[in-house]
Amino acid sequence: MDPHRDYLDVNRAQWDERAPAHAASPGYQVPRLIAEPTALSEVVQFDLPRLGRLDGLDVVHLQCHIGTDTLSLARLGARSVTGLDLSPASLAEARRIAADCGHDIRFVESDVYNAVEALGADYDLVYTGIGALNWLPSVDRWAQVVAALLRPGGRLFIREGHPMMYALPLQEEYDGADLRIELPYFEVEEAFVSDEGGTYVETDHVFTNTLAVEWNHGLSDTLGAVLRHGLRITAFEEHTSVPWEALPGAMHDIGGGEYELIDRPERLPMSFTLQAEKV
């Protein structure tokens, strides 16, 4: 397989199959979001102290999946919220959830690199939730899109899995005392292609679309790309937790949907938050 030619089709098929299972899983807490008009997703709740209120802002959420974080952004007072994703099945779930919650949110089908053509520009905030950049072959092209989407003075907010975590080999169970970097830390042309039948939330569904095509991006890859495309970094923070059990057997639930290493969590950054402003 040529991942640069086929990665969108392969990953779209995986997300299309997983979207209904994710929406039905306890992890996404869809019934709570519908029942409680002010409830936020756990991902956005984690981001909130850094993200703040969004009153009066025009917001775009890239790689929005089933839209629970997109909905949460709308609940923070945004004037308008648009979610973008390459998976039509994910967007169908997102539209259903938003409608059930009484929110008018625009959802658009497109891959990230064509976002400007699909959406137009002139946004106050580009938000990218965790587990997004690893599906893209070039973080520089991503940063170029972000810069094009933003108004002058507009803001980028992204929390992402740390490249140190993504450089660990994919295993069914980890020994927390013996974590070894084996996959590329920096962005390389060759993709990492995995064949896994599961997903990151609890479900009984047996998946048939099991291939996933991913890339890692070192911190200097991401920070450098943001700076090259006319954004000024305003905040950067690394975290010891991530909102899924990324290393089964070596992590425990610390509340709020976050997982941390059981043994000496300060050894390994699991995620980071980056904020930047268009100059």
Ranges of H-type helices in the chain: 3-24, 30-35, 42-51, 68-74, 88-100, 115-119, 139-149, 163-166, 219-228
Q: Is the pTM of this model over 0.75?
A: yes
Nearest to 278 by CA among 95, 121, 139: 121
Average pLDDT over every residue of 205-212: 76
User: What is the pLDDT, as a whole number, of residue 238?
Assistant: 99
Going 144 to 61 to 58 to 158, the CA torsion angle's sign is negative
Question: What does the pLDDT look like over 109-158, one tens digit per residue?
Answer: 999 999 999 999 899 999 998 999 999 999 999 999 999 999 999 999 99
User: What is the pLDDT, as a whole number, of residue 3?
Assistant: 47
First to last CA, the chain: 40
User: What is the pLDDT, as a whole number, of residue 175?
Assistant: 76
Name which residue leads in pLDDT, 262 or 25: 262
> CB burial class (10 A; 0-12, 13-18, 19+) of residue 26?
exposed
Whether residue 92 is predicted with pLDDT greater than 60 in this model: the reply is yes
Quote the CA–CA distance of 128 and 18 in Å, as a whole number: 20
- Domain range 3-278, CATH class: alpha beta
User: What is the pLDDT, as a whole number, of residue 178?
Assistant: 80
Question: What does the pLDDT look like over 43-75, one tens digit per residue?
Answer: 999 999 999 999 999 999 999 999 999 999 999
Domain residue ranges in the chain: 3-278
